[in-house]
Structure 1
Amino acid sequence: MSNYARKSGRSAGLNILDRSSVLQKTRTTVVSQESVTSDDPRGDSERDSGAEPDNGGDFLVYNRWESVGVKGQDKIHGPFKSCESAIQEFEQKFLAKTKNAWSSRNNFVCYPKSYAWLEMDYSGKENESTVTENPDHALGKQPQESKLEPRVAKFISLVCNGYEVLKRLANVIDKGDRKVLKQLSGEFYTVIPHDFGFKKVREFVIDTPQKLKRKLEMVEALAEIEVATKLLKDDAEMQGDPLYTHYQRLHCELAPVEFGCVEFSMIEEYTKNTHAETHSNYTVDIVQIFRTSREGEAERFRKPASLFDSTANSSSLLLNALVNLSYSTKGLGGTALDPSKAQELEDGLVVPLGKPKTESGKKGDLLYNEYIVYNVEQIRMRYIVHLNFNFKTTS
């Protein structure tokens, strides 16, 4: 278990500060503060003695900090002659960054201009651990175990937490309290990662109804799911497994696509080939792909559609969808995917896997081909792709 402190009021995708671990110099074994001081039926002295070097070697405290698209930095403090002195250095760093004592981390409180604590678990089992300033909300009561598959639970939590913060912003935005708006904006950017470069978050405060509307539309675009107003309503149904209840209310089935399978490789190739040359300031890595089925859509698409297209790209999530072209407009661009490399699936779906090439003949005003669909009922979701954006730095 490694421990991170992340700046409250900054984007989760912007800064991750800092990762602190206690290292035993002679055995190069990571002895994290969590493992030394965790709740354990044994006494403190027994736990501490288990972290002592076998041959009297030194201890080090390792810190690492980084920003999106920037090579991280690190620093080693020490050596310390005892594990206790190294732990003390770690606790002082944690207190300075978060304004919370390590011993009180189970009752962690977020403070403005300080860092929020993230508990990172590298075991095979994924548990949601979200720091929030609204502990009474149902998502804050999420049990250790959910009925949802862990990867689906993580995605649903992302969408719902984004809505929850924007809901609180909507309740106070007319009051014009700059301090509160800045704090809630920081919470939102922590839940939904944004890349601000090295600009300060105060330049991106959500302080007008227009800005709030744009962020709501962005969160909706994360999954292109119509979320009813009751989505965030706390009621008796939420007490047992609130995340699962939210998932049911979405009326949209999500199933992870396994890494390395044919289906995953196809979407990976499609994503790579549709990365426009004009977007050369970043690269993308696929975090997870979800196969989606929204209630009622399959019945409207009894015949296979002829297009597999990207219809939304927002906050590191890409929606791939079928489009019924009966009533639509095609915007012609100067570049299009090579149709000779298209692949037809068993259900008749045609996936354009070719690389972009310059269109011969008459060129349109657009850079790339676009389909304009006038009715959302002409769209059937097929996949949601969770991406990591790797922004390049300018020297």
Structure 2
Amino acid sequence: MAAYLEHGGSKFWEVKVKSKEATVSWGKVGSDGQSMVKAFDKPADAKAFAAKQTDEKRKKGYVDVKLTGKKRAAAAEPPPKATKAPKKAEAAAPPKATKASKATVPKTAVQVATEEAAPLFSLGIVDKASGFSGKGLILLASDTKGVQEIYDVSLVQQDLAKNIDKYYIMQIIVVNSEYHLFTRWGRTGTDGSTQTEGPFELSAQGAAVSSFHKKFKEKTGNDWTQRHPTTFKKKANKYTMVVMDHSARQQKQQAQVITVWEYFVDDGVDGKPTGWYPYVQSASEQMEELHDQYLYNTWLDTRLVSSGAFNYLVDLKEMRQRNTSTGTERQIRRVTPDIASKAAALSAPAAAFREATDLMDEEDEEMDEEDEEMDEEAPGSPVQAGELVVDKLCSWGDAKVYMDYDATLNQTQIGVNANKFYIIQLLKRANGACACWTRWGRVGEDGQNAILIASSLEDGIKTFEKKFKDKTKNNWANRDAFVAHSGKYTLIKLVSSTPITEQHPSVNLPAAKATKSKLSKDVQDLLKLIFSEAKQQLTNTLDVKITSNGLETPLGVLSIAQVEVGEGIVEQALAYIKGKGKKDKSKIQTISSQFYTNIPHKSGRSAPPLLDNLDIVKEKAELCELMRDMVEVAIRSAAGKSQNALHSNDLDSQYDTLQCKVDIVKPNSREHADILKEIKESQERSHGGNGVKVKRVFRLRREEEYERYQPAIGNETYLYHGSRMSNWVGLLSRGILLPKTVVAMGVKRTDEGWLGSGIYFGNADTAAGYAGTSKEGNAYMLMAKTALGKMKDYTKITYGISKPPTGFDSCHGVMGSEFYDDEYVVYTQHQHRLDYLIEFKRT
């Protein structure tokens, strides 16, 4: 089998040969794509066909990869021009005694087509800091099962809450028939420290490999045999292995593709006019490396990068950076040769919601060459996941949105009760005809529309960009650094694509027929309740419908990016309310209008309320948190290729999106009795009451919490945490968020407590007071194992704490002082784990 991914692009292609048949599959990354089977008279003919097709793909810049399960995500950047396979390094040929030496000999096309992931040359890039760049090759050798492995590993250890983001690089480099074990480590963004072991003689390959394996185990806690993503397990306080596409990196280097990273200045720093400015070359190279890591390791979307005297929190999903010392935030972007990358807009939260459309002219047509060749045998499918969708009312339903020329604009002005939208799309038909489609009106209504026929593609682009500038006062070329202007429309970062199962994102398909669940009845009851409460809260407040496509507003499908815009505006409102001086009503009207512009509410033709007091600001902050939780559920459904769990009646699918194991604790068990006893004692330690009558107990296990929990801190005890009913989908799926960790992820929090920004726990009766009540009269609270360590007692309310005083592990607000209840606060994520969910009634 030969499997190929368009280098940096959005398409995959693969061929499998079995006897006299060749099966070719192709399509958009993130989708199942299409396939075709060709039958031949002889096996040799099938292999020859596969070889020819493979050669064509490689000439087009497709990269040889292994595709396991889901197709890999890829960033939209232009594919490099095809390059010839590099010549063998004369002074660095791998030793003849190993299988690595065979890998350096180019294989025939037939061999490539019929062998799985057979490299054409030694893969990997020798680290510049090793001193062997241009002189040596990375060792490519076979393991005990005959599988070839490249001895080039990149590791990362990250804990943003503790200001940790560091790397560890390991390579075995072959130079003049000798082996060198090279390692480099340090804080991300720095050159770090290096060490080279060796040289190991030709006969000592086993010693070099053994030392490599030992270091890998020391740094990751995993054996080398567990290195593959399906078997590798993250360990607390250990490095995590980063998935790398060595072939793609090498091809990019050989093709000399130079990607420049830029930052946007609009505050006049150093006297600079407003505009984009390039990073220095070394910083651009560093950012490109981090970006490459993020493509195949989505958990590395946020990095803490050291640069000189400063540290920067870099969000590679939303393309923003923040100076952690000064707080200055700037938009950033990637610029590939001749093309400004739409990185911020293209990094949608899930491939099934939106995949980037290609930015190259030759990629404008929806079918690649092989699609055209096989069109008769593989008829076109419905709209694929990731394509921009033509507006539902447009008469040009057979057209395609050209590249990314698609803008959804909104404007809410509370003072004049305006709440309107404006949609602009550049459309192109198969016959080459182009037009600019516009639709406008009040949010929630169809409004009016117009289609402006263009004499050419260039004319259509000019019309589109002029409309965008007229409505927003922004240039289309600068949309990544969009600035909202008073009296003008705002660009909305909603998702405008559709899953493959839908013809249109506004179609509200009926929920799938419920299937028989494998879960216990108690867990089913819990799922029905918490999902129902969350959805009801969401739809009662927002102008949103829950469909198989996600959370659909009148302007499109809600995205994480748009939720974060709303969170940022709520933070502005809070800062203004808390600020000193006389309040200007027009200022709070502007902030409120910005919020409702970005977060569509149910207000009909009435003006929504101003964000002018702490109560409503808190309400909107909680709404944003709920939105985030629900969008994440929809994203996980899409990632699992299942119907949106919010829309589906499939309880097992809903359970899977929580990523939390939930079991019922049997009422007649010893475990249940111990829990009842602990809750009773907790109430007695507090105010001596007995207001909690337990109905059911659910056992919880969130693996990431169990891995990071550190009982060695000591002073372990069970504490409790209550919350409103609409919060439970979020709490079970993400745990209790630590405010400073959330801020590091780009999320703003407004709920600082009496002992600062930490995670708060209390006794059972205290937590019960914070718990919301369902329609059946039941309430819920978490029972968490907590390592308090040495506590610092407080008798006075003290705001602004972000960590315990030196020598202490937690803070304690003492009951009976300025604190009515005992309040226990921890400031790191590794001091608690959620063990039980208690369903109770108040007595």
TM-score by length of 1: 0.40
- Considering only CA atoms, is the larger Rg found in Structure 1 or Structure 2? 2
Normalising by structure 2, we get a TM-score of 0.20
Higher normalized contact order (CA 8 Å, seq sep 6+, divided by chain length): 1
